A and B are shown apart, each in its own frame.
Chain A
Amino acid sequence: MKQMLRCLLAASLTVISSAALAEDALKIGAPQPMTGADAPFGDKFKKAYSMAIEEINAKGGVNGRKIEIVIEDHQAKNPLAATVAEKLITEDKVLILTGGRASGQAIEIASVAQRLKTPYLVDHPSADAVTAKGWDWVFRQNPPGSIYPEAFHKFITEVPGAMPKSVAVVYDNTLFGKTIAAATIAFLKSKNVPIVADEAYPVNTLDFKPIMTKVKAANPDYLLMMAVATTDAILMTRHAKEIGVTPRAFVGFGGGFGVGDFATQLGPLSEKVFSSASWSGNPNDPLTAAFYKNYQAKYGLHPHEHEVEGYSVIYVIADALKRAKLTGNLEADRDAIRQALLTTDMQTAFGKTKFGNWTGPNGDQYTNQNIYSPEHSVLAQWRNGQLLNVYPKDNAETAYAFPE
């Protein structure tokens, strides 16, 4: 009996002490997919967040207080994303939210955050709508989807002779594919470039030959391809080359064209294919380079866009927490953090971050969207199985090979 009492006492002491600690820490909430098909992405963000938090806490935290991240699994399901956002805000009493991973879930989180007056700093979801609905509690560090082709637009405008004489556009019918296609078609039309083929396909198409036969007949100067799925990117490129489409340049947009499998599966067929790659920080910037090195040392994995975004977003939040006057009153503190985010102006491994209201290329009216987003677009090219940034020059790892 005595022993039992002692056990109980010890247990209650640990509970009390951990409660005291938890109260002391500044809590950040992050709904992420930790199970299901998207789980690998949730894990990437978890690693990136943890690394930033360890670094900040090791240096004394924020104004002497430790910061802590609370991750909740939303299984990539929209209703569950709303559920866990609600739980993080009302039960875990986090000061600010980040994460989300995919756009559908981010919209649910943003809608909940707006109604419950809790700041939500988006780190990866790219649907334009997230910051185009006038939600003033929602901020976004990363560029919206319609910004992705920005570097390609600069390339064709600035490099002599690069402006296409005609283009064929082939895109998947996802929000991402359609947004990018719309942005780049609008830009090309403004430059009077004829669109000779405009073809949408469903994700996970197995045979691109019918589409590519049409494209070949149109004989485009550039072939622009949008693919979220890696298999689509690979098959589309292979079938285009097998059918004998011979444009001056193959340009891929979207995740599928940026992964290692693209080169391993296609071999020499991948050579010199351009990829309007997702932004993962400027590799020539010392802050970004240091992050890449440290991350590799810590986890033995090569970081990419997700890790840079997750790692940097914690620094942006820590900066806002540092500047906000926290009183212990949850509602007032959340508003103070929102006010602090409005005046954020800093450099992270991701790049420059400052939030503002502006108009996107597809006419979206952004609220609290990173104003440096148009700079956060990069054109890369596959060279000997490696994807290297080639444009703009400041972010380039090598010179572009164009025309051959």
Chain B
Amino acid sequence: MPKFALPGLLVAVFIAAPLLSTHSFVHHLLIMVLFSTLLGLSWNLLGGFAGQVSFGHSAFLGVGAYTTLLFYLKLGLSPWLGLVAGGALAMVVAVPIGLICFRLRGPYFSLATLAVAEIIRLVALNWEELTAGPQGLIITHLPALSLFGQTVNWESKLPFYYLIALLALLGMGLTHLVARSRLGAYLLAVREDLESAEAVGIDTVLTRVLALALSAMLVGLAGGFYGLYFRYIDPDAVFSVALSVEMVFIAVVGGIATTAGPIVGAIVLVSISETFRSQFQSGHLIFYGLFMMLVIRYLPDGIWGRVRLALKQVRER
């Protein structure tokens, strides 16, 4: 297979997907799938490749979301600039957090991430001059933008779809590069055996900080997108533990430490939660939970991990 066939196909699918339906709700679900994909990709970089389980990734999502909205609402700068700044700032915030938390290992690291997210939530809640506290930030209209001579219609879904598709592709590209780079190899070494990794001369703290920074950048971009798409953020919504846990689920169900896992996880989770919800008004979370248990019990490598294994076996036969 030529080198660019698979990515080319993926880009084609991403471009074509929303054109198959005129229902704006279908477009919305596609956006949710890609948004979840980006969350899963971000968590996967750190949790999957480096084996550092974070329960506080919403901290970086919130930083990205607040940066984007504040850039627009307070400074009057273009929200698209704010989106990029959000990703960058999430990265900057991640470095000192990483330097402190990576002194801890295993469950202690996980607990520290939980605490960091809570601290940042409380700062956002109480620093009212900057964040408007519990009132949150609301965008009532987005600035006009013209692209290739056409005015972008922010009331329609397509611009948002292509924006998140671009971000998801960026995330997948980054994951692909990391997985094949020296950094990827270091991360695997750190995940498998921290002492051995150190013994062969890997700077394990720096390696993990790098992984965290890249991961934070992706989720920061996702946060900026969240702010622009949903147009309302408050500390409890963007710094929530539930959101952090969702990121873990997407990566785990899809298949940790794989490039395609998060998108598989996102497609499966968004579609099953939508299906169950439309079937059962109040009992649907039971089925969702049951599904999670089955996946963890029978597919510990995730759905994509399992498929990849099967494909490999077929090829070797």
Contact = CB atoms under 8 A, between A and B. Distances in A.
Interface of A: 34-36, 39, 42, 71-73, 75, 77-79, 82-83, 86-87, 90-91, 104, 107-108, 111, 115, 127, 129, 133-135, 173-175, 178, 202
B155 interface: yes
* 6 tightest A-B CB contacts, nearest first: A175-B134, A34-B282, A78-B237, A107-B232, A90-B25, A35-B285
A73 B232 contact: no
Contacts of B282: 34-35, 39, 42, 73
Interface centre among B24, B28, B236, B281 (most CB of A within 10 A): B281
B180 interface: no
A134 B138 CA distance: 12
B315 interface: no
B106 to A, nearest CB: 29
Interface in B124-164: 125-126, 133-136, 138, 140, 155
Interface string B41-79: 000000000000000000000000000000000000000
Nearest to B32: A83
A173 B125 contact: yes
Contacts of A35: 282-285
A73 B125 CA distance: 27
Contacts of A104: 136, 232, 234, 236-237
B306 interface: no
B126 to A, nearest CB: 7
Given A34-B282, A35-B285, A39-B282, A134 B134 contact: no
Nearest to B35: A79
Nearest to A114: B140
Given A107-B136, A107-B138, A90 B24 contact: yes
A133 B140 contact: yes
User: Which of B135, B226, B232, B237 counts the most A-chain CB atoms under 10 A from its CB?
Assistant: B232
Contacts of A72: 277, 281
A108 B229 CA distance: 10
B140 A178 contact: no
B138 A175 contact: no
B298 interface: no
B11 interface: no
A90 B25 CA distance: 7
25 contacts: A34-B281, A34-B282, A35-B282, A35-B283, A35-B285, A72-B281, A73-B282, A78-B237, A79-B237, A83-B28, A87-B25, A90-B24, A91-B23, A107-B138, A107-B232, A108-B230, A108-B231, A111-B230, A134-B140, A173-B133, A175-B134, A175-B135, A178-B133, A178-B134, A202-B122
Given A173-B133, A178-B133, A86 B230 contact: no
Interface of B: 23-25, 28, 32, 122, 125-126, 133-136, 138, 140, 155, 226, 230-232, 234, 236-237, 242, 277, 281-285
Contacts of B135: 127, 129, 175, 178
B230 A91 contact: no
Nearest to A87: B25
Nearest to B155: A115
A396 to B, nearest CB: 33
Given A73-B284, A104-B236, A174 B140 contact: no
A86 B25 contact: yes
A173 B134 contact: yes
A39 B28 CA distance: 25
Contacts of A133: 138, 140
A174 B125 CA distance: 8
A42 B28 CA distance: 24
A133 B141 CA distance: 11
A128 to B, nearest CB: 9
B134 A79 contact: no
B54 to A, nearest CB: 20
Contacts of B25: 86-87, 90-91
A73 B155 contact: no
Given A35-B284, A111-B232, 8 more contacts: A34-B282, A79-B32, A90-B24, A90-B25, A107-B136, A173-B134, A175-B133, A175-B135
A178 to B, nearest CB: 6
A230 to B, nearest CB: 19
A347 B285 CA distance: 39
A395 B226 CA distance: 45
A78 B135 CA distance: 14
Given A107-B136, A134-B140, A79 B24 contact: no
Nearest to A43: B282
A142 to B, nearest CB: 18
Nearest to B288: A35
B282 to A, nearest CB: 4
Given A34-B281, A175-B135, A79 B226 contact: yes
Contacts of A134: 140
Contacts of B140: 111, 133-135
A127 B135 CA distance: 8
A272 B102 CA distance: 54
B242 A111 contact: no
B62 to A, nearest CB: 13
Contacts of B230: 78-79, 82, 108, 111
Contacts of A36: 285
A161 B232 CA distance: 45
A166 to B, nearest CB: 25
B136 A77 contact: no
A173 B136 contact: no
A42 B126 CA distance: 30
